[in-house]
């Protein structure tokens, strides 16, 4: 059994967190490959080391004095080094970083030092080998990941090692310089390592015990989702909360490697398992409820529209030409509605309306704003009678007016449009009927 354990920034923010990580690693010898993030926030108003590095490098690039900023970053690592008595000599690394900053090595290089240094400290503390990710992760000329080369080099290098610490977030660009993934990209490193060494499990350690059924700011103490499929996670994540970087998902799914989201501060909690498919029946009919406020709807009315071939395409083309993506397009016999982000739409409002008039000569265009979309997601809804009925009777009892309904034919989700002001009430009502009443 081989496990890859990726630890997020809050799991490695200080010496105390490092101790927890060591306990977790040593309690299971299958945890042979460890992928750390840079030190994150120690408390609410703290700054992540990655952000400190970006800010420090911005000064270096502007030829400003960055010594105090670099000293503050060093302080974060000294705190860990001294707190744990690792006895790691940070001097050579910081001298090199200072020199490279002065020579303008680039902001990707700068940001990557957060995980690089954390990886070095962690490897010294655990007694695991350190493997610089710039030697095993490669990007192509167009800036995208060179998956094949990365997998081959990673596999050959790591497979032989009994254990290793591989810093997250960066690799080697086509030009030989350090290049980072997008923010939160340590998850991608972890997923690449898991695939390369054919891990049985990829653990994503963070500061929550997995995914919650719904937003705890709306519902008091919602339970954790014990198992979720990748598809369910997609349906919920596009509505907000993401725990795993989107680009980390693809390689794992392809190889069928399950992910366990775990809490470094409560390692005994089982967390959430993310899997490709499962016979494991969800505890409730629904797996989760997600949602987002701030949508606008544009309804186009035109008599006999349904016989006009190409109508939908022409409408959507107007949105495309204005660089707007749409969320949903519910339609009636003579109406076609487009839901999109209100903020984005407002910037282009008049161009879109003019464009629609030109493209499809509508009888009438109606705009509505301050709308929210709620996704009720669950593999348990498939072939279960009455799910939609229960949702709508719960909403009616809560006096919520439903503006739009969209059920995908996969029967994995039901999307409901309500007014922004009804958003929380609607989520509470749906939660209550499925989770509290458990029907």
Residue appearing with tokens 């003579």: 334
Can you spell out the DSSP letters for 194-248? HHHTT-SEEEEEESSSS-BSS-TTTSSSPPBPSEEEHHHHHHHHTTS--SS-HHH
Q: Find the length of the chain.
A: 439
**Minimum distance from residue 154 beta carbon to ligand ASP (Å):** 18
5 binds ligand ASP (CB under 6 A): no
Q: Which of 9, 173, 290, 417 binds ligand ASP (CB under 6 A)?
A: 9
Q: Stretches 93-101, 180-188, 337-345, 399-407: which one binds ligand ASP (CB under 6 A)?
A: 180-188
CB atoms within 10 A of CB 285: 21
Distance of alpha carbon 231 from alpha carbon 338, whole angstroms: 24
Question: In terms of CB distance, is 168 or 271 closer to ligand ASP?
Answer: 168
β-strands 178-180, 170-172: how paired?
antiparallel
Can you spell out the DSSP letters for 46-93? ---HHHHHHHHHHHHHTT---HHHHHHHHHHHHHHHHHHT-----HHH
Q: Which of 3, 20, 32, 48 binds ligand ASP (CB under 6 A)?
A: 48
**Contact present, 90 and 78 (Cβ < 8 Å):** yes
Tokens of 267: 């390692």
Question: In terms of CB distance, is 114 or 171 closer to ligand ASP?
Answer: 114
**Minimum distance from residue 298 beta carbon to ligand ASP (Å):** 35
184 binds ligand ASP (CB under 6 A): yes
186 binds ligand ASP (CB under 6 A): yes
Query: What are the b/e assignments for 96-115, b being 16+ CB within 10 Å?
Result: ebeebbeeebbebbbbbbbb
Q: Which of 3, 60, 74, 114 binds ligand ASP (CB under 6 A)?
A: 114
Distance of alpha carbon 30 from alpha carbon 26, whole angstroms: 9
- Nearest residue to ligand ASP by CB is 186
Angle, CA of 212, 218 and 222, to the nearest 5°? 30
Map residues 139-168 to x or -, x wherever contact with ligand ASP holds by CB under 6 A.
-----------------------------x
**Minimum distance from residue 320 beta carbon to ligand ASP (Å):** 31
**Minimum distance from residue 184 beta carbon to ligand ASP (Å):** 4
Question: In terms of CB distance, is 128 or 170 closer to ligand ASP?
Answer: 170
**Contact present, 299 and 263 (Cβ < 8 Å):** no
Q: Which of 10, 14, 17, 50 binds ligand ASP (CB under 6 A)?
A: 50
* N-to-C CA span, the chain: 39
Map residues 382-421 to x or -, x wherever contact with ligand ASP holds by CB under 6 A.
----------------------------------------
Q: Stretches 178-186, 250-258, 279-287, 295-303: which one binds ligand ASP (CB under 6 A)?
A: 178-186
**Contact present, 414 and 406 (Cβ < 8 Å):** yes
Q: Stretches 77-85, 184-192, 279-287, 413-421: which one binds ligand ASP (CB under 6 A)?
A: 184-192
Can you spell out the DSSP letters for 163-179? -EE--SSEEE-TTSSEE
Map residues 303-342 to x or -, x wherever contact with ligand ASP holds by CB under 6 A.
----------------------------------------
Q: Stretches 144-152, 182-190, 195-203, 370-378: which one binds ligand ASP (CB under 6 A)?
A: 182-190
Size of the site for ligand ASP (CB under 6 A): 12
Tokens of 234: 């997609």
**Minimum distance from residue 253 beta carbon to ligand ASP (Å):** 19
Question: In terms of CB distance, is 20 or 48 closer to ligand ASP?
Answer: 48
CA-to-CA dists, residue 108 to 1, 93, 180, 181, angstroms: 35, 17, 6, 9
Q: Which residues bind ligand ASP (CB under 6 A)?
A: 9, 37-38, 48, 50, 114, 168-169, 183-186
């Amino acid at each position: 059994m081989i496990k890859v354990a990726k630890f997020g920034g809050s799991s490695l923010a200080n010496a105390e967190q490092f101790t927890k990580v060591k306990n977790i690693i040593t309690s299971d010898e299958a945890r042979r490959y460890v992928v750390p993030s840079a030190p994150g926030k120690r408390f609410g108003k703290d700054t992540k080391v990655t952000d400190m590095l970006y800010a420090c490098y911005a000064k270096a690039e502007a030829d400003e004095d960055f010594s105090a900023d670099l000293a503050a970053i060093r302080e974060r690592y000294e705190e860990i080094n001294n707190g744990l008595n690792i006895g790691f000599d940070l001097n050579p690394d910081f001298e090199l970083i200072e020199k490279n900053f002065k020579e303008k090595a680039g902001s990707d290089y700068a940001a990557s030092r957060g995980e690089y240094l954390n990886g070095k400290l962690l490897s010294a503390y655990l007694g695991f080998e350190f493997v610089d990710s710039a030697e095993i992760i490669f990007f192509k000329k167009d800036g995208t990941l060179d998956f094949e080369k990365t997998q081959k080099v990673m596999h050959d290098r790591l497979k032989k090692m009994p254990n290793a610490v591989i810093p997250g977030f960066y690799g080697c660009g086509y030009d030989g310089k350090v290049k980072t993934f997008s923010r939160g990209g340590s998850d991608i490193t972890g997923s690449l390592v898991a695939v390369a060494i054919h891990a049985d499990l990829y653990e994503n350690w963070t500061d929550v015990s997995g995914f919650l059924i719904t937003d705890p700011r709306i519902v008091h103490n919602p339970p954790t989702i014990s198992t979720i499929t990748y598809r369910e996670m997609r349906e919920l994540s596009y509505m907000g909360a993401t725990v795993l970087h989107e680009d980390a998902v693809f390689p794992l799914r392809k190889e069928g490697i399950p992910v366990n989201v775990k809490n470094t501060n409560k390692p005994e909690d089982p967390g959430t398992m993310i899997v490709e498919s499962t016979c494991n029946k969800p505890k409730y009919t629904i797996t989760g409820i997600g949602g987002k406020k701030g949508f606008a709807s544009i309804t186009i009315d035109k008599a006999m529209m349904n016989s006009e071939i190409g109508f939908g395409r022409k409408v959507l083309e107007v949105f495309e030409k204005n660089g707007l993506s749409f969320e949903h397009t519910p339609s009636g016999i003579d109406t076609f509605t487009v839901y999109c982000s209100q903020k984005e739409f407002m910037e282009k409002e008049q161009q879109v309306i003019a464009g629609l008039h030109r493209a499809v000569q509508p009888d009438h265009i109606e705009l509505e704003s301050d709308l929210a979309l709620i996704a009720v997601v669950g593999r348990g809804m498939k072939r279960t009678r009455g799910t939609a009925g229960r949702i709508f009777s719960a909403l009616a009892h809560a006096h919520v007016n439903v503006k739009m309904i969209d059920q995908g034919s996969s029967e994995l989700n039901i999307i409901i449009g309500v007014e922004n002001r009804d958003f929380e009430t609607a989520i509470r009502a749906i939660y209550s009927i499925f989770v509290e009443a458990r029907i």
